[in-house]
């Protein structure tokens, strides 16, 4: 597996940084959900962000969910990541087709439209932490930059990209999140802004053969980049028949009886990985007894 995330620090701990290469996991998501090119780009960007934001959490069982609800034809996206680099997600309308944007790019902003970005962090407290901001363009990286500034008061630079092959498979995917920590000096802020202004496209850098380490070195080298950790990341869903059974049992005895009365086997779909689980009438009868 070649996808991974780099966790790093720079500027005497005034800057923290994450960079990721995620081609394989985005391609896997594309195959699982049979996404159109623009949906692959949107979902791939959000999965890449999710993988990095997931490993920012400290607890072993912490879970992060990013939800985008928009007025555009993709209708929305949901991504869930853990702190170990596992990420999964889906687009509500994976088949959305749109003409390219004016710049000739996949029109992710047009597919997402106007709406809301929510970040839900379940870090083992009674209530999950929920931060919510409006979308500022729907291109996802900018929306997350805005989220970090407005909701978490952390000045951040977020870059996310997905580059497609001519046959609509994923050629490159990746991104970075660079954040200023409290107390960052004006000198650091100014030179970092200048440096970030020179970056045009994360996927172009990856396509030229740059690794996440090299990209961070390029941006943060002059501030004394220190690479802390390399974390493998993957598209992974932990669903299985037993979990789906539990969910079915929890919908209630009466509902299961109704399904039995229909006399047909049913299929339950996992939204996150698009796997289908079949339950025969015999299965349902067994569940009915359990419920
Ligand atoms: Zn699943």
Q: From ligand 1's centre to the CA of 276, what distance in Å?
A: 8
CA 225 to chain centroid: 25
Condensed to tens digits (0 to 9), the pLDDT of residues 88-106 reads 999 999 999 999 988 889 9
CA distances from 228 to 17, 247, 285 (A): 10, 40, 53
Spatial separation of the C-alpha atoms in residues 173 and 206, rounded to whole Å: 8
What pLDDT does residue 1 have? 61
Cα of 237 vs centre of ligand 1, distance in Å, is 5
Give distance in angstroms: CA of 123 to centre of ligand 1: 22
Residues of the chain predicted below pLDDT 70: 1
What contacts 264, CB < 8 A, 6 or more positions away? 281
pLDDT in tens, 220-249: 999 999 999 999 999 999 999 999 999 888
The radius of gyration computed from the CA coordinates of the chain, to the nearest angstrom, equals: 21
Residue 273 alpha carbon to ligand 1 centre in Å: 4
DSSP assignment letter at 95: T
Residue 231 near residue 4, CB atoms below 8 Å: yes
H helices of the chain, in order, are 23-33, 37-55, 108-112, 141-151, 186-197, 202-207, 212-220, 241-250, 253-262, 281-290
Q: How far apart are CA 227 and CA 222, in angstroms?
A: 14
Q: Which among 157, 197, 195, 194 is positioned nearest to 178, based on CA atoms? A: 157
Cα(32) to ligand 1 centroid in Å equals 10
Ligand 1 geometric centre to CA of 89 (Å): 9
pTM above 0.75, yes or no: yes
């Amino acid at each position: 597996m070649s996808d991974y995330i780099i966790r790093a620090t720079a500027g005497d701990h005034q800057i923290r940084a994450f960079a990721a290469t995620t081609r394989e996991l985005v391609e896997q998501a594309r195959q699982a959900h049979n996404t159109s090119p623009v949906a692959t780009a949107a979902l791939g960007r959000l999965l890449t962000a999710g993988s990095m934001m997931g490993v920012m959490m400290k607890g072993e069982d912490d879970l992060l969910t990013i939800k985008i609800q928009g007025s555009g034809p993709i209708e929305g996206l949901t991504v869930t990541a853990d702190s170990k680099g596992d990420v999964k997600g889906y687009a509500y309308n994976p088949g959305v087709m749109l003409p390219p944007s004016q710049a000739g790019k996949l029109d992710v902003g047009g597919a997402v439209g106007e709406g809301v970005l929510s970040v839900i962090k379940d870090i083992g407290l009674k209530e999950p932490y929920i931060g919510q901001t409006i979308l500022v363009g729907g291109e996802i990286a900018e929306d997350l930059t805005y989220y970090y500034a407005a909701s978490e008061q952390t000045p951040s630079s977020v870059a996310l990209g997905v580059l497609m092959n001519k046959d609509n498979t994923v050629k490159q995917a990746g991104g970075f999140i660079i954040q200023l920590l409290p107390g960052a000096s004006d000198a650091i802020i100014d030179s970092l802004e200048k440096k970030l202004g020179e970056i045009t496209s994360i996927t172009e850098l990856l396509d030229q053969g740059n690794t996440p380490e090299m990209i961070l070195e390029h941006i943060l080298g002059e501030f004394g980049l220190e690479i802390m950790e390399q974390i493998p990341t993957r598209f992974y869903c932990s669903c299985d028949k037993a979990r789906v059974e539990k969910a079915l049992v929890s919908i209630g005895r009466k509902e299961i009886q109704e399904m039995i009365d229909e006399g047909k086997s049913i299929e339950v779909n996992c939204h996150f990985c698009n796997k289908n689980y079949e339950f025969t009438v015999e299965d349902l009868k067994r569940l009915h007894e359990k419920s």
